[in-house]
Amino acid sequence: MITLVFIINLICWFVISKEGMKKTKSGEIFINNIDLNTINLLRWRANSEVMSDLKKLSFFFKMITLLGLGLTLVFSLVKVQPGFYFCISILLSLLFWIALMWGTNPKKETIEWFKYLGIILLMPGFFYVLDIISNDPAHSILKVLTQKNFYSFGFELNSELEMGILLTFYLSIVLLLMTTCWFFINTIIISLFMSLMWLTIKSSNILLNIKESTITNIAYILMPISMIILFFVK
C-alpha cells in the first residue's frame, strides 16, 4: 500500500514538473520521448484483445516454468538448495500456465483432462486382467492396493472382482474431487487475469481521451494527499 502511494507521489511530481523540465533542450527531448512512449504504450494496451493477451501470458508462464525447472535441475546437480520463494514462484508459474492454457482453449483442455481421468479409472480393470492372467492370488496387484487402503476400514474383499470394483469407486470419488478443485481454481485464475487485462484496456482508452491539463490538475490534487499519507505512515 505504501509502495503504491509512493509511486503515485512520484508520478504526480513528474507531471507537475514537466513544464519546468522542458525549459532546457535536453529536458524537452527527455519529456517528449517519455510522452511519446507513454502514448504508444497506452495505444498498444487500448488496441489489445483479452484472449490474445491470455495466450501470450500462457506462453510467458510456460517459459518461466520450464526455465525454473531447468535451474532446479542444475541446482540439484551442483548440490545447491533452491530458496523457498524460488520454488513457490515455479509452482505458481506452473499453476498459471495450466489455468491460462485451459482458459484460452477450454474445450480441448477439458477433453484432455477427462482422457487422463478415463485412463486412471481403467487401471483397476487392467490390474484385474493381469491378476486373472497370472492366476497367483499371493501376488495379486489389486490385493496389494486394496489391503493398504481398505482393509483397515473393515472391508472384507474375497475376490479380485470386488477389489477392482471398490478401487474403481474409490478412484471415482477422488477424481471427482480433484476435477471440482481443478475447475474451481482454473476459473478463479482465468477470471482474475481476464479482469486485469480488461481493466488495462479500459483504463488505457480512458487515459488516451483525457486532456493533459486535466491530468496536471489531478496531479496537483493527489500530490499533497500522497505526501500527507506518507508523512503520517512514516
Q: Which residues contact 110 (CB under 8 A, 6 or more apart)?
A: 102
Checking if the pLDDT of 163 tops 70, the result is yes
Q: Which residues contact 193 (CB under 8 A, 6 or more apart)?
A: 54, 57, 96, 100, 103
DSSP-assigned states of every residue in the chain: -HHHHHHHHHHHHHHHHHHHHTTSHHHHHHHHHHHHHHHHHHHHHHT--HHHHHHHHHHHHHHHHHHHHHHHHHHHHTT-PPPHHHHHHHHHHHHHHHHHHHHHSHHHHHHHHHHHHHHHHHHHHHHHHHHHHHT-GGG-HHHHHHHHHTGGGT----SHHHHHHHHHHHHHHHHHHHHHHHHHHHHHHHHHHHHHHHHHHHHHHHHHTS-HHHHHHHHHHHHHHHHHHHHHH-
C-alpha torsion sign, points 102, 106, 107, 111: positive
User: What's the whole-model pTM score?
Assistant: 0.72
Top mean pLDDT of 34-38, 42-46, 55-59, 111-115 is at 55-59
**pLDDT for 48:** 87
Domain ranges, ordered by start, for the chain: 2-47+105-233, 53-93
Checking if the pLDDT of 137 tops 70, the result is no
C-alpha cell at 141: 496387484
Q: Answer for the pair 30, 21: CB distance below 8 angstroms, yes or no.
A: yes
Using one digit for the tens of pLDDT, what is the confidence trace for 62-120? 999 999 888 888 877 777 777 778 888 888 898 898 889 888 888 888 888 888 888 88
Closest residue by Cα to residue 59 from 104, 18, 29: 104
